[in-house]
């Protein structure tokens, strides 16, 4: 039995996540920076169902090595963490956090 989540439910899930997640905290050269979320969207397909959350670290703040990035609420409390290793020459960095869902019916 195939399950399809309709776009209205994906929009609801995306909006609820967006209401809670307001910032990304990024560590560049050992210094934590709080940057705002710039966009959220939902992606659906046969192989992937996910909510994508984007944050942009501008070129002035992206110079160096990024060693940590996580999504946080308005108070800075971590909600989703990720260890990363990105070296940026200062051109700006678009960070994508993807929350993937598996949908199935069990009988």
pLDDT on residue 87: 67
Question: How do strand 78-88 and strand 64-72 relate by DSSP bridges?
Answer: antiparallel
Handedness of CA 21, 23, 27, 31 (dihedral sign): negative
The pLDDT profile of the chain, 107 residues, written as one tens digit per residue, is 567 778 888 889 888 988 899 999 999 889 999 999 998 888 887 777 888 888 888 888 888 888 888 999 999 899 988 766 676 656 788 888 888 887 777 77
pLDDT on residue 18: 85
pLDDT on residue 31: 93
């Amino acid at each position: 039995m195939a399950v399809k989540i309709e776009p209205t439910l994906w929009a609801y899930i995306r909006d609820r996540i967006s209401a809670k997640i307001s910032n990304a905290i990024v560590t560049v050269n050992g210094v934590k920076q709080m940057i705002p979320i710039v966009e959220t969207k939902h992606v659906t397909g046969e192989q992937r169902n996910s909510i994508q959350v984007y944050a942009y670290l501008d070129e002035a703040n992206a110079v160096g090595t990024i060693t940590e990035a996580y999504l946080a609420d308005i108070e800075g409390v971590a909600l989703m963490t990720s260890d990363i290793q990105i070296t940026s020459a200062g051109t700006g960095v678009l960070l994508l956090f993807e929350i993937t869902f598996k949908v199935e019916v069990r009988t």
